[in-house]
Copies of this chain bind each other. A is one copy, B any other.
Amino acid sequence: MDILIVGAGNMARGIATRFLAGGHPVHIADRDPQKARRLAADLNADATGESLDDGPGDARVVILAVPYPANKEIAAAWRDGLRGKLVVDISNPVDFATFDDLATPVGMSAAEEVAAAAPEARVVKAFNTTFAGNLAGGAPMDVFIAGDDEDAREEIARLASDSGLRPVSVGGLKHARELEGFQLLHMKAQEQIDGRFSTAIGFATV
């Protein structure tokens, strides 16, 4: 097993769809194994359903496609099993009570909290600015990648690139703060743009 996607929601579907299109088989795990199996069946691919109970197993890359704070809870529960693995945090820690603030402490990102919960994992932030529907639809979006391990960043960049996306490396994991921050604005701005979450953040040549 190479790539394990944790979660069977819209983002798991979007990322799995792109990775499979790029020739990379994925496994799906969810706390509801039936939901994982359903998504795997829907994708009509090598994806196979798993439960969360067994930990990350022999996966080399673990994509935490679950909302904040479930991402850091799973990272803590799997702390030993994640040792040395490439872990991707895609979360947007939005305070849904106000929809105007981040839920993380000031000066901290969800990705850094995941790294603190699983300190021997190689944590990368990616795919937090790409809405699920656009991923599933195959739009050639920018994928911003932050992480302290350069090899890990490059591996996710290759996966993104194989999947028809444009990787943009932005440096160390601390830059997850800016990625999570701007995506809050992107989500807020949907209302005045089209209300359909059909946009992407990008660096466009003008």
Contacts and interface: CB of A to CB of B under 8 A. Distances in A.
| Interface SS, A side | mixed
Interface residues of A, number: 37
A123 B121 CA distance: 43
A97 interface: no
Interface string A178-193: 1101101110110011
A92 interface: no
Interface in A157-198: 168-172, 175, 177-179, 181-182, 184-186, 188-189, 192-194, 198
Contacts of A193: 168, 203, 205
A182 to B, nearest CB: 4
A174 to B, nearest CB: 8
A185 B179 contact: yes
A150 interface: no
